[in-house]
Amino acid sequence: MFNQELVLKQRAEILHALCSSGSTEHLERVLDILLSQGELIWEEYQSIQVQGRALYTNVRQLLDLVYTKGEDTCEFFLAAVKQVLPEAQGAGITFSGCCSNLEKTGESQCTSIQTLLTQRASLVTKIRACIDGALEALVESGHFTSADCDEVLLPIHTPSQKARRLLDHVRSKGESAAKVLLHYIHESESSLNQEKWTLSKEFSKYRKKLSSSVSAQSCFLSSYGGTSHMPLDEIYTEGQLELANGCADLSGALDLDNIVSAAGTVNDEADTVLVSGEAGSGKSTLLQRLHLLWARGVALKGFLLLFPFSCRRLNSEQRELSVQELLFQHCCWPDKEQEEIFQFILDHPHLILFSFDGLDELKQGFSDEHRVCCPTQRAPVHILLFNLLQGSLMKGVRKVVTSRPDAVGPMLKKHLRKEVLLKGFSPSGIDCFVKKHHRDPTVAAKVLESLQMNTALLGLCHSPVLCWIVSECHKELLGCGEGSPQTITDVYLMILQHFLQHQSPLKSTVGLGWLQEHIKAVLHLGQLAFEGIGTSCYIFTDTDLETCYVTEKDICMGFLILSKDMSSTHSKRYEFLHVTIQCFFAALFIVLSNNTDRSTIHKLFELQNMKGTGLSSTWFMGCIPFSDQQGQGLEGESVIAETSNLQITATFVSGLLSQRHRNLWLHCCSSAVMEKKVRQVVKCLSKGMHKHFKSIPQPVEGEKKSMHAMPGFVWLIKCIYEMQECKIAKDAMSKLEVDHLKLTYCNIGPVECTALAYALQYLRKPVGLQLDYNSVGDVGVEQLLPCMHICNSLHLRNNNITDEGIRKLIAKGIQCDNFQKIALFNNKLTDACTLHFSLLLKTKQNFLSLRLGNNNITAEGAKQLAEGLKFNHSLRYLGLWGNKISDTGAEALASALEGSKTLVWLSLVGNGVGSAGAYALAKVIESSTSLEELWLTENCITKAGVECLIQALERNTHVKSVWLRNNDLSWEEVEEMTRYESRLIF
C-alpha cells in the first residue's frame, strides 16, 4: 500500500504542486505519461481532462482515480509527477518508492494509433515545432477538414495544447490518419536536422550592420567613460550565476551560454529568461558581454539576429510603435528590403533574440491586461514590451530581460521560461577583477592586501559596482590607513573625493575642504539626481541639466556620461555613471540642500510601507521643488514605485548623516539643520524597527517566539549599519524580543551579513538565526562572526559555503557558550571541514545539533567526525543525509556512538550504506539509551543487514522508528520483515 498511501497523505501538496502555476500544462504532461504507460485508458483521460472545468477539480479527479486504481497506478503517477515537476521533491513531496524509469513501457507497439498513445509525451514536443505542416499534411491526405484545423488551432490553446488536440483528433480519425501524422513527423525531423537558410544578400548585409552596431555599443565599459576607455574584453570578470529557486539543479557553475540554454527551464512554453540581481550586481555588464560575444560570433551562435534594448531608453519613446518599427528604429535600420527582412524574422522566430536591460527602470509596472498580438499593430512601447515578454507577440523569439528582483512580481513570473540570479563576484572574482583593473601587479597586490585586512570592505566588493569604485579609488584607499572604508557610504564618498580632486589636481585641497570647494557642483548634480529618483528618470536632456544649473564643468567631473542610444535621436542625453551613483547624489542633495521639503526625510523612509501601491513615486514627487518635464508627463499613468532606488538613497542618507562624516559638512551647511536631519533619520529608523517588532505574533504556548523578516527589515538594518553608531543599534535591538529570527530567501549576501552582525550583536537574548537559501558564502560567514556569541542556532542551508568558511565559523563558535546548533544542508563542504566539526564536538559539551546533509562528505570525513563524537556527551541530532560515507563511514560513526546517552536522531539517508553499516548501527541501537529515530532510507542494505537491526530492536524499547525505504530488498522481504518488527518503516 506504500505508493497509494503516499498519494493519499500528500494529496494537498500534490494538488498544490500541479495547480499553483495556474497553467494546465503540468497536469496535461502527467496525463500524457499515464496514457503512454497504459495506466489510464482513453475514457478515463477524457473524464479528467474536462475543458472549462477548474484545474483543481481536474487534478482532484485524477488523484481520486489513481488512488482507486491501486498501488501500481499510484507508483506510475508519482513517477510522472516527479518527472514533470522535479523541483517538487525539494519542496517536500516524497516520491521514494516510485519507479524512476518511465521510458520502458515493455509493450511492443503494433498500430500507429497505439504509437500515438505510447509515445504521447514525446510526440507533443515534436508536434509543437511543426504543427502547421502536420495539419497541412492531414488536410492534403483528406483526413482533416479546415474545421478540424480550426479546432486544433484555437487561439486559447498553448502550443503544447494545440499539439495534444491534434493528437486527439487524429486518434478519432483512425489508423490511416495516425500513419500520415507519424510519417510527417518523421520526415520533418530529418529535414529539421539539416535545416539551412538561404539568406538573401540584403538580409546578410542587415545582419552585418546590426552586429557591427551591437559590437560598437558593447565593446567599452561605460563606467570607465569619465576616466578612460576600458575595453570590456580587458576588464570583464565572470560573475556568479545561479538558477533561481525552484529550477531543476544543474551541476557546476552556469556560464553565459546557459542563460539561453534549456538548462533549468521551468516553463517550456515561455520565451522569456529573467536575469535578476541587485543594483550594481553586473546585469547590464553581463548583457553587454553577451551582446559582444554574439556580435563576434563566439556565443549565442544559434541566433542570427540579436536586438538589444534598454528599458531606460525605451522610457523616453513617446510614440506608439509596431514591433517592426521598434526593432528597426531602436536597434538597426535596414537600408533596403525592410519588409523582406521583417518577414524572415517572423518566419524564423527561433533564430532571433531580444534583450531588455533594466526592466525595473521602466516607468510602468508589468501588466498583461492589454493584449497586442499583431506585429504590425502600433501600441505604446511598454505595451509592446509586455506582450513580447509574455509571448503574445513574436512567440518563439527568445527574450532575455534583466531586472532587480523586487521589480518582478508574480504576474510576470508566470511567463518566465526560467530565472537566473546574478550574485556578484565570488572571492576569486574579486581577485581577478582587481588584477585586471590594475595592470601594475604591485598596485593590484596592495589593493588586494588592503581588502584582506578589511573584511567589511571585502564583503562590499562582492558587488561589482563597489569593487569597481574601490579599484578606481585605490590611491584614496591605500592612503587612508586606519580609516579604511567600512560602509557603502564610505565607498561612495571615496569616489566623490576621487572625482572632485581629479578635477583640480593641482590645487588638491588638503584635509576636509575638498567638498566645500565643489559644493555648488555637488548640489547641482544632487538636484538632478534627486528629481530623477523621484520621477523614475535616469536619462537627462540639456533642458533637465539647465533646470538644475548643471554646467559643462560639472559634467566634466565624470559622474555624468553621455547616454548611449541605438536609436537615431540627435540631441545629447546624459545619465549617471551608475544608478547607485544617482542615488548617492540624491542623498547628498537631501543632506546638504536647504531647498528640500522638511518632510522629505520622513517621506523617504516611510515610502517603504507604500511598496506596490503605485503611489510612492507620485507622492514623493510632492517633495520635489521643481517638477521636470518628464515627471509631469507621467501624471495619471500607473507609475511604478521605484522603491529600490529610494531605499538605496535612504541608506546613503543614513550613512551621510553618520557622526563620522559630520566634519565633512561643517562648512557646507548649518549644523543646527544637520542635527535636525540626524534626529529625523534616527526617529524614522526606530519607528520602522518598532513596526516590525510589533508585527511579531505572540507564540503559541510551549513554542518559541519567532519572527520572519518582513520586506524592509534587512534594509532598515543596513541603514543602522551605515550610521555606525552603537547607541542607535543598541536602542533598535533592545526592543527585539524573539527566540528565532528567520531570514530565509532574503537575498542576503556578505554586505547584508556585515550589517546584520553589527546590529544583532546588541541583542539582549540569544536567538536562533535562520539564513537558509541566501548567498552568504565564506565571506558572509566571516562577517557574521561578531554576532556568533548571541546565536544559539545558525541555519545556513544553501548558501555556497565551503570548508574555508567553516574553518573560521567553527574557530569562533567554539568560544561561544550559546552556540548549540548548526544546519548546513546543501553547501560545498568536503571532508576538509570535518576536522573542525570534530574539534567542536570534542570541545563543546553543550552542542546539540549538527546537520551536514547534501554535501560532499565521504568515509574519511565520517571517520573524522567519529573522532569528535567519541568525546562528545551532548549531541542529540546528527544529520548526514545525501553524503557519501558508505559502510566504512557508517561503521566509524557507529563505533563512536555506541552507548550514546544523548543522541536522539541520526540520519544517514542516501549514503551508500550497506549491510555492514547496518550491522554496525545495530550495535548503536542495542547500546544507546537515547536513540529514538534512525534514518537509513535510500541506501543499499540487504535482508541480512535488516535482520541485524531487527535483532537489536528486540533489545531496545526506546527506538521509535528505523526508516528503510528504498534499500536492496524485495517486496516479499519487506512484507516479511514488517511482520517481525513494526518499527521498521519501508
Residues that bind ligand ADP (CB under 6 A): 221, 223, 235-237, 239, 277, 279-285, 433, 464-465, 468, 578
Give the nearer residue to ligand ADP in terms of CB position, either 465 or 776: 465
Q: Rounded to an integer, what distance in angstroms lies between the CA atom of residue 516 and that of residue 663?
A: 11
Tell me the backbone φ, ψ of residue 393, rounded to 5 degrees. Answer: -115, 140
Question: Burial letters for 615-650: b for 16+ Cβ neighbours within 10 Å, e otherwise?
Answer: ebbbbbbebbeebbebbeebeeeebbbbbbbbbbbb
Give the nearer residue to ligand ADP in terms of CB position, either 221 or 767: 221
Give the nearer residue to ligand ADP in terms of CB position, either 290 or 790: 290
Tell me the backbone φ, ψ of residue 92, rounded to 5 degrees. Answer: 110, -5
Alpha carbon dihedral 382, 384, 386, 388, in 10-degree steps, equals: -150
Shortest Cβ 463–ligand ADP spacing (Å): 8
What secondary structure, in 3-state letters, does 717-741 show? Answer: HHHHHHHCCHHHHHHHHHCCCCCEE
Give the nearer residue to ligand ADP in terms of CB position, either 75 or 752: 752
Shortest Cβ 491–ligand ADP spacing (Å): 12
Give the nearer residue to ligand ADP in terms of CB position, either 645 or 761: 645
Q: Rounded to an integer, what distance in angstroms lies between the CA atom of residue 73 and that of residue 58?
A: 17
- Tell me 335's DSSP state: S
Whether residue 772 contacts residue 740, with contact meaning beta carbons closer than 8 Å, is answered with no
Whether residue 657 contacts residue 678, with contact meaning beta carbons closer than 8 Å, is answered with yes
Beta pairing class for 984-985 and 961-963: parallel
Integer CA distances (angstroms), 149 to 139, 152, 188, 630, 924, in order: 8, 5, 19, 49, 68
Supply the Cα-derived Rg of the chain in whole angstroms: 31
Shortest Cβ 583–ligand ADP spacing (Å): 11
Sequence-distant (6+) residues with CB within 8 A of 211 are: 294, 295, 306
Integer CA distances (angstroms), 806 to 242, 803, 847, 865, 876, in order: 22, 5, 16, 14, 21
CA nearest neighbour of 401 among 287, 566, 295: 287
Shortest Cβ 564–ligand ADP spacing (Å): 12
What secondary structure, in 3-state letters, does 405-426 show? Answer: HHHCCHHHHCCEEEEEEECCCC
DSSP H helices in 263-409: 283-295, 311-314, 323-330, 338-347, 381-390
Shortest Cβ 907–ligand ADP spacing (Å): 40
Give the nearer residue to ligand ADP in terms of CB position, either 383 or 587: 587
To 5 degrees, how large is the angle CA 163–CA 166–CA 172?
145
Tell me the backbone φ, ψ of residue 576, rounded to 5 degrees. Answer: -75, 155
CA nearest neighbour of 42 among 112, 138, 116: 116
Shortest Cβ 591–ligand ADP spacing (Å): 23
Beta pairing class for 706-708 and 574-576: unpaired
Give the nearer residue to ligand ADP in terms of CB position, either 221 or 515: 221
Shortest Cβ 239–ligand ADP spacing (Å): 5
Q: Rounded to an integer, what distance in angstroms lies between the CA atom of residue 113 and that of residue 109?
A: 9
Give the nearer residue to ligand ADP in terms of CB position, either 749 or 910: 749
Question: What is the distance of C-alpha 261 from the center of its chain?
Answer: 17
Give the nearer residue to ligand ADP in terms of CB position, either 111 or 227: 227
Q: Rounded to an integer, what distance in angstroms lies between the CA atom of residue 454 and that of residue 740?
A: 30
Integer CA distances (angstroms), 521 to 28, 586, 588, in order: 63, 13, 11
Q: Rounded to an integer, what distance in angstroms lies between the CA atom of residue 720 and that of residue 727?
A: 10
Sequence-distant (6+) residues with CB within 8 A of 197 are: 304, 348, 351
Give the nearer residue to ligand ADP in terms of CB position, either 466 or 918: 466
Shortest Cβ 236–ligand ADP spacing (Å): 5
Beta pairing class for 877-879 and 905-907: parallel
Q: Rounded to an integer, what distance in angstroms lies between the CA atom of residue 295 and that of residue 592?
A: 46
Which residue lies nearest ligand ADP, judged by its C-beta? 282
Tell me the backbone φ, ψ of residue 844, rounded to 5 degrees. Answer: -95, 105
Give the nearer residue to ligand ADP in terms of CB position, either 281 or 939: 281
Element (DSSP H or E) covering residue 51: none
Shortest Cβ 317–ligand ADP spacing (Å): 20
Give the nearer residue to ligand ADP in terms of CB position, either 237 or 596: 237
Give the nearer residue to ligand ADP in terms of CB position, either 221 or 359: 221
Give the nearer residue to ligand ADP in terms of CB position, either 277 or 768: 277
Shortest Cβ 405–ligand ADP spacing (Å): 11
- Determine the residue type at 411: M
In the numeric block, the cell 526593432 is attached to 327
Give the nearer residue to ligand ADP in terms of CB position, either 323 or 430: 430
Give the nearer residue to ligand ADP in terms of CB position, either 231 or 479: 231
Give the nearer residue to ligand ADP in terms of CB position, either 529 or 674: 529
Shortest Cβ 357–ligand ADP spacing (Å): 7
Cell readout for 167 is 493528437
Shortest Cβ 282–ligand ADP spacing (Å): 3
Shortest Cβ 235–ligand ADP spacing (Å): 5
Give the nearer residue to ligand ADP in terms of CB position, either 277 or 868: 277
Shortest Cβ 344–ligand ADP spacing (Å): 32
Shortest Cβ 432–ligand ADP spacing (Å): 9
Shortest Cβ 946–ligand ADP spacing (Å): 54
